[in-house]
């Protein structure tokens, strides 16, 4: 009669052993360690890590580039000119040039955005109360989440951190103020015409 473990192993689909360990090993094999595109394009899977790096003119451990003889008892100053390094010819010199051009590019700006609903909520509260967080917290109709004053402050700070959304809010507010000023000026002109 077959054992229970054997039947179970066949049902579970495949080779015996620890499934957790097998998944971990699979992830390590499939892991993408090499991030620079120049290194990734020139990587040879048949070579070891050190062989690949050496062929590209890079080093795995920079401390091993220049062998230094250390005497524990006598402190010495070391001149850089006196150190002789044996440089092996680099097979792929274009890798270093590509990495230098990548490093020279400006860093991509990180954009912080909040959701559209939160942005609308913040604009509504700022238009109604300005920077008065206590009165924002007391308003039951506009504040359906019943946020406290400090929570409101944090939401408004996050809204101000999202530069593009906050800039559109400021432009809309500026446009509102100019239209209000124009309409009030037109109303005064109309009143002046009626009196005459």
Q: Is the pLDDT of residue 80 over 70?
A: no
Q: Is the pLDDT of residue 78 over 80?
A: no
pLDDT at 121: 95
Comparing 83-87, 132-136, 184-188, the range with the smallest average pLDDT is 83-87
Q: Which of 10-19, 61-70, 102-111, 155-164 has the highest mean pLDDT?
A: 155-164
* 46 vs 30: CA distance, rounded Å: 15
pLDDT at 157: 94
Helix crossing, 149-161 with 163-195: angle to 10°?
100
Q: Is the pLDDT of residue 171 over 90?
A: yes
Helix crossing, 163-195 with 116-129: angle to 10°?
40
Indicate the pTM of the whole model: 0.45
pLDDT at 9: 58
């Amino acid at each position: 009669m077959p054992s229970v473990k054997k039947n179970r192993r066949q049902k579970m689909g495949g080779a015996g052993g620890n499934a957790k360990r097998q998944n971990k090993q699979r992830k390590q094999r499939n892991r993408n360690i090499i991030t620079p595109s120049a290194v990734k394009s020139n990587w040879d899977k048949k070579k070891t890590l050190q062989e690949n790096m050496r062929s590209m003119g890079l080093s795995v451990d920079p401390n091993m580039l220049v062998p230094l003889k250390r005497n524990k008892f006598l402190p010495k100053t070391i001149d850089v000119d006196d150190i002789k390094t044996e440089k092996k010819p680099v097979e792929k010199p274009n890798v270093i040039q590509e990495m230098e051009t990548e490093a020279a590019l400006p860093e991509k700006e990180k954009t912080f955005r909040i959701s559209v609903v939160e942005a609308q909520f913040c604009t509504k509260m700022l238009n109604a109360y300005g920077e008065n967080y206590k009165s924002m917290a007391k308003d039951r109709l506009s504040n359906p989440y019943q946020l406290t004053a400090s929570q409101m402050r944090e939401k408004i700070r996050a809204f101000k951190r999202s530069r593009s959304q906050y800039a559109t809010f400021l432009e809309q507010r500026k446009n509102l103020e100019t239209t209000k000023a124009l309409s009030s000026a037109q109303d005064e002109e109309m009143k002046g015409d009626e009196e005459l």
